[in-house]
């Protein structure tokens, strides 16, 4: 529950610039662009339905890039945090640096809608930023009450602490106190041993090829997802309604992708390919719509459909990537892919500004990215009902995989 609520807060932070940096309707007296900001301040007239950093510092025309830059710097901060706190979590534990699973992405979508509601109620951008950021103090204090990951404690040889956490979880679930005693793992690394390093992702041909493809897929998912999310403020219609819908449209994406990835006729690879391709097509089709298209064929509706599809793909890629890497390299593989994901977020805020070339250009850029990532997914193997490799040798040995498949069929 705490982690889910924290996701709502994170969603507000990710979406902050959409409303704080929104551009209200305005007009400039006389023709031409003013030579100085002081002259611009005298000649420009903004609509007074809300304030933003744009109205505060006149971030229009040549200064408009600063709004996109502010959003890009946010994702650059996430990249730095990913590099810094990812390895730190393996040393200090999961609780101090906070990690969450793909299930909490559902509450992230709800958080976007909550932020839209906040923006509708609080129209002055400083107060909106204050209201959106203040809960962070509460969650920081609350995080100290969370128990440590029992799996991490177990991997570190802290059996007694892991047992205490498991007892705490059992009692929280309404179970009676268990007579629990963990045995030391025979496969755990000794203190004088080290896990395979990140360079193994490059040294071995199979893993190198998978890593390159997955890095691009993660990048494209992030690029299209955050691009369409941040572009919600650029769509026609009510600003706050568009932002809320861009979050709520993700809610059905999670059960939808969970349904398809467990079916033998679709699996992980085909499902993710279809979602990415459909997201790309939804974006590209916006350029062929007539100007007087009705509600059912409006660019806003297609953008929301694309957002739902890429959101589903984003959920699947976490599971799919975990199954494509052997156990000894899973953390390293997910870390590298997660870093490439942040580069997509860094570039995404600048794409909506390309509408100055043509209103359909941002959607074409997102569409091409989604299509290319979808087709590249077909080059990866299916992992549904397949044994997960434990070591690097397992990935490279076809004979091992055949034996494991036969064993899985016999036990199944």
As its CATH architecture, domain 2-23+64-145+196-393 has: Up-down Bundle (1.20)
Residue 296 CB neighbour total at 10 angstroms: 7
**CA-angle at 27, arms to 21 and 28, nearest 5°:** 110
Adjacent-strand bridge partners of 26: 46
d(CA 269, CA 316): 9
pLDDT score of 313 more than 60: yes
pLDDT score of 94 more than 50: no
pLDDT for the residue numbered 127? 93
- Look up residue 116 and give its two tokens: 């839209």
Q: Within the chain, what is the greatest distance between any pair of CA atoms?
A: 81
pLDDT score of 288 more than 90: no
pLDDT for the residue numbered 412? 46
Pairing state of beta strands 44-46 and 26-28? antiparallel
**Residue 327 or residue 245, greater confidence:** 245
Instruction: Place 95 in a pLDDT band, splitting at 50, 70 and 90.
Output: very low
| Highest-scoring range by mean pLDDT, 116-130, 165-179, 284-298 | 116-130
| Highest-scoring range by mean pLDDT, 42-46, 218-222, 391-395 | 218-222
d(CA 261, CA 313): 11
pLDDT for the residue numbered 213? 96
Q: How many Cα atoms sit within 13 Å of 352 on the Cβ side? A: 28
Instruction: Place 224 in a pLDDT band, splitting at 50, 70 and 90.
Output: very high
Residues above pLDDT 90, as percent of the chain? 28
Q: What is the pLDDT of residues 259-273, one digit of tens each?
A: 999 999 999 999 999
Average pLDDT over residues 181-199: 58
d(CA 46, CA 184): 67
Instruction: Place 93 in a pLDDT band, splitting at 50, 70 and 90.
Output: very low
Instruction: Place 101 in a pLDDT band, splitting at 50, 70 and 90.
Output: very low
pLDDT score of 381 more than 90: yes
pLDDT for the residue numbered 187? 47
Average pLDDT over residues 68-88: 75
Q: What is the pLDDT of residues 24-69, one digit of tens each?
A: 888 787 666 666 667 777 778 887 788 888 888 888 877 888 888 8
pLDDT for the residue numbered 273? 97
Average pLDDT over residues 223-250: 88
pLDDT for the residue numbered 194? 47
Instruction: Place 368 in a pLDDT band, splitting at 50, 70 and 90.
Output: very high
Residue 348 CB neighbour total at 10 angstroms: 27
Sorted by sequence, the CB contacts under 8 Å of residue 389 that are 6+ apart come out as 325, 326, 327, 395, 401
pLDDT for the residue numbered 236? 76
Domain ranges in the chain are 2-23+64-145+196-393, 149-180
Are 114 and 12 in contact, with CB atoms under 8 Å apart?
yes
pLDDT score of 217 more than 80: yes
Indicate the average pLDDT of the chain.
80
pLDDT score of 403 more than 60: no
Backbone angles phi, psi at 149, to 5 degrees: -65, 120
Average pLDDT over residues 170-190: 66
The secondary structure of 78-116, three-state, reads: HHHHHHHHHHHHHHHCCCCCCCCCHHHHHHHHHHHHHHH
């Amino acid at each position: 529950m705490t982690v889910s609520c924290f996701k709502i807060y994170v969603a507000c932070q990710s979406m902050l610039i959409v409303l704080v940096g929104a551009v209200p309707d305005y007009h400039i007296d006389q023709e031409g662009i003013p030579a100085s900001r002081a002259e611009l301040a005298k000649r420009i007239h903004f609509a007074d339905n809300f304030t933003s950093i744009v109205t505060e510092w006149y971030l229009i025309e040549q200064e408009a890039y600063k709004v996109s830059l502010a959003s890009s710097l946010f994702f650059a901060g996430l990249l730095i945090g990913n590099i810094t706190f990812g390895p730190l979590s393996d040393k200090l534990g999961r609780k101090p640096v906070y990690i969450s699973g793909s299930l909490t992405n559902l509450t992230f979508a709800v958080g976007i809608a909550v932020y839209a509601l906040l923006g509708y109620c609080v129209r002055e951008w400083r107060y909106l930023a204050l209201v959106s950021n203040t809960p962070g103090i509460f969650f920081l204090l609350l995080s100290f009450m969370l128990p440590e990951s029992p799996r991490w404690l177990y991997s570190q040889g802290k059996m007694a602490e892991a047992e205490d956490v498991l007892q705490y979880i059992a009692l929280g679930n309404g179970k009676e106190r268990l007579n629990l005693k963990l045995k030391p793992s025979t496969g755990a690394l000794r203190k004088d041993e080290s896990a395979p390093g990140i360079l193994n992702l490059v040294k071995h041909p199979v893993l190198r090829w998978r890593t390159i493809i997955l890095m691009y897929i993660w990048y494209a998912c992030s690029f299209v997802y955050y691009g369409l999310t941040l572009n919600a403020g650029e769509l026609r219609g009510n600003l706050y309604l568009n932002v809320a819908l861009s979050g709520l449209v993700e809610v059905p994406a999670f059960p939808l992708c969970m349904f398809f990835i467990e079916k033998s006729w679709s699996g992980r690879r085909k499902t993710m390919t279809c979602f990415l391709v459909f997201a790309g097509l939804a974006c590209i089709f916006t350029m062929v719509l007539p100007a007087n298209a009705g509600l059912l064929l409006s660019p806003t509706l297609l953008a929301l459909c694309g957002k739902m599809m890429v959101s589903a793909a984003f959920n699947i890629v976490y599971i799919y990537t975990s199954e494509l890497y052997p156990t000894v390299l899973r953390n390293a593989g997910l870390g590298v892919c997660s870093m490439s994901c942040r580069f997509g977020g860094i570039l995404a805020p600048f794409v909506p500004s390309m509408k100055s070339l043509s209103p359909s250009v941002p959607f074409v850029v997102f569409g091409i990215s989604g299509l290319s990532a979808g087709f590249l997914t077909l080059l990866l193997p299916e992992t549904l009902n397949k044994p997960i490799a434990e070591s690097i040798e397992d990935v490279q040995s076809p004979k091992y995989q055949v034996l494991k498949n036969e064993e899985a069929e016999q036990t199944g």
